[in-house]
A and B are shown apart, each in its own frame.
Chain A
Amino acid sequence: MSSEPLPLARGWGWFALPAFAVLAAVFFIPVGYLASFSLRPRTGPGMVGDGFTAANYVRFLSDPFYLGVLFDTVMIGAAVVGICLLLAYPTAYVLARMRGPGRGFLIFLVLSPLFITTVVRNLGWFPILGDSGLVNWLLMSTGLTGAPVKLTNNTAGIIIAMVHTFLPFMILALVTVIQKIGVDLEEASQNLGASPWTTFLRVTLPLSRPGLLAGYLVVFTSVISAFTTPAMMGGKRVLVMSTFVEQQIRSVLNYPFGATAAVILMLAGFLLTAASLRQAELR
């Protein structure tokens, strides 16, 4: 928001109408329509019956298999966020404290994957992680393993590719915040006798909180809602909420149950965001 509020005029308001109309037609009405399916019975493949029922929600929330899919989704999200934080913090710190011409080039390199469509980035992991890929070639030619280690078509592949997808976002969020932490604060801490580790733990890290929170929120919510990477890297063998919804709608043709899972996935994202923001305000 600007410091001086813009003078408000009645006429400008009308310019919002086209966007409202389009968003209603392509988002609010379709999503509401889909959500209404979750309260209706299934009457056959690709059929949605009349009348209302809570049976779909009861079925999802009482079956360990479906709850397991939700649990796995959240655990993959937690793993990706954790690894991203560990890799991003040192990188962001070095970039934030760097001076000179090399810095712009390194930031360019960090951002470059973001311009490349996700499917192409995922594709690049197959020659590296596949059974006859680079990692297994190294492992087997050095005799560390006799048989290829499974790194694709499973959860490991999903996590590696998702860390790659979201690491630039985490680095960006942290660079912005660490840049604002004055070097003088770190110097003052060290002049007063604190070790570099103490300085990091007591000064730099606590002051990085806004960046950590922003990065965590973006990455966690994006990971649990992602579809492309779990589907490509999991090779139909790993079910997360999004691939489960796709399976119910396109293969099982159970529209009401697919809609139920979609609503639960949306709610999980909202609740997570709300809880994190609340915790950020409380501290």
Chain B
Amino acid sequence: MGSAALRIIVVLVFVFLLAPLCAVVLASFSTGAPLAFPPPGLTVAWYGAIAPDMASALWTSLMVGAGATLLSTVMGTLAALALQRGRLPGRRVLAALCLSPLMVPTLVIGVAGFQFALLLWDMFGITLADTKLGIILGHAAFGIPFVIRSATAAQAEYDMSLEEAARNLGASPVQTFLRVTLPMLAPGIAAGAIFAFLASFDDVPVALFMGGADTVTLPVRIFTSIEFSFDASVMAVSALVILGSMILMLVVDRLVGLDRVLGPGRA
């Protein structure tokens, strides 16, 4: 069998997958133009030249990510429990509706949120455009469905008899929920929360439309730098993002297992 050819293809696929990540790291140390190859020399100077607005964009992204994750995790977990245990009319339709935002382009969510924010401003004087809260709410539109999906999948492999045992042994409903139900669902909920955070940190369109001059996330800052003001410190920030993401990935792999987070893919 052409196993040598197979091996070569697989090696090339791995080179392809890792090439842009290596390119960012290499370019961040280059003494020459950041987009030129080969680098004429190596320096760490760009890491010292990171603009203050980059640091504040990173801070904005982390705050937005934390807010969106918290909101999505609490609401999504409650909704997943309700959809599976509650006697709701049209449960299947409601569950499908709750996941439907994942089928809509995030750009449309961003544009719709932006237009709706204008309406709220006109009618009630509520300011959501160019605020962290506005971006957090926009990110909850896909964060909540992500958590609902993971928490629902976790319940599918759930053993109800453990809850009954807890009740029979004298635990109150609240105790049963906190000591039995939640711990058993925790890995699924954690996987959904991590996915919600990654999606928030990945997003450009919603943050582009809901953000503004005062509220710029890091992805939006890097995105616009390609058009307007590109300098090598953007590469340095990006290399740090890669480092941070790799550390997060190792932690997640240890705590939850990567396949649980990324298993079924999107949509």
Question: Could you tell me the distance between the alpha carbons of A1 and B114 in the complex, rounded to whole angstroms?
Answer: 37
Among A120, A168, A169, A246, point to the contact of B205 (Cβ < 8 A): A246
Contact with A along B6-22 (1 / 0, CB 8 A): 11011001101111111
Question: Could you tell me the distance between the alpha carbons of A138 and B61 in the complex, rounded to whole angstroms?
Answer: 37
Residue A64 lies at the interface, judged by CB distance under 8 Å to chain B: no
Which residue of chain A lies nearest to B103 when distances are taken between CB atoms in the complex? A269
Query: Would you call B248 and A115 a contact (CB within 8 A)?
Result: yes
- In the complex, chain B residues whose CB is within 8 Å of the CB of A128: 19-20, 23, 37
Among B10, B253, B265, point to the contact of A108 (Cβ < 8 A): B253
Query: Would you call A15 and B79 a contact (CB within 8 A)?
Result: yes
Question: Could you tell me the distance between the alpha carbons of A116 and B23 in the complex, rounded to whole angstroms?
Answer: 14
Among A31, A106, A217, point to the contact of B108 (Cβ < 8 A): A31
Query: Would you call A217 and B267 a contact (CB within 8 A)?
Result: yes
Residue A134 lies at the interface, judged by CB distance under 8 Å to chain B: yes
Which residue of chain A lies nearest to B22 when distances are taken between CB atoms in the complex? A124
Question: Could you tell me the distance between the alpha carbons of A227 and B265 in the complex, rounded to whole angstroms?
Answer: 19
Residue A112 lies at the interface, judged by CB distance under 8 Å to chain B: yes
Query: Would you call B111 and A134 a contact (CB within 8 A)?
Result: no
Which residue of chain A lies nearest to B21 when distances are taken between CB atoms in the complex? A124
**How many A residues touch B, CB cutoff 8 Å?**
100
Residue B50 lies at the interface, judged by CB distance under 8 Å to chain A: no
Which B residues between 15 and 37 are near A, CB-CB below 8 angstroms? Answer: 16-24, 26-27, 33-37
Query: Would you call B222 and A119 a contact (CB within 8 A)?
Result: yes
Residue A144 lies at the interface, judged by CB distance under 8 Å to chain B: no
Question: Could you tell me the distance between the alpha carbons of A78 and B66 in the complex, rounded to whole angstroms?
Answer: 36
Question: Could you tell me the distance between the alpha carbons of A127 and B24 in the complex, rounded to whole angstroms?
Answer: 8
Interface of B is mostly: helix
Expressed in whole angstroms, the minimum distance between the Cβ of A197 and any Cβ of chain B is 9
Question: Could you tell me the distance between the alpha carbons of A85 and B47 in the complex, rounded to whole angstroms?
Answer: 39
- In the complex, chain A residues whose CB is within 8 Å of the CB of B262: 111, 114, 168, 172
> Are A266 and B245 also in contact (CB < 8 A) when A2-B157, A117-B201, A167-B13 are?
no
Query: Can you offer 15 A-B residue contacts whose CB atoms are under 8 A?
Result: A2-B157, A9-B85, A17-B82, A18-B79, A23-B144, A30-B112, A34-B116, A107-B258, A117-B245, A121-B21, A124-B23, A130-B35, A130-B36, A245-B111, A269-B105
Footprint of A on B, CB under 8 Å?
A: 1-2, 6-7, 9-10, 13-14, 16-24, 26-27, 33-38, 71, 74-76, 78-79, 81-88, 94, 97-98, 101, 103-109, 111-116, 119, 137-138, 140-141, 144-145, 148, 155-158, 160, 198, 201-202, 204-205, 208-209, 218-219, 222-223, 226-227, 234-235, 238, 241-242, 245-246, 248-249, 252-253, 258-259, 262-263, 265-267
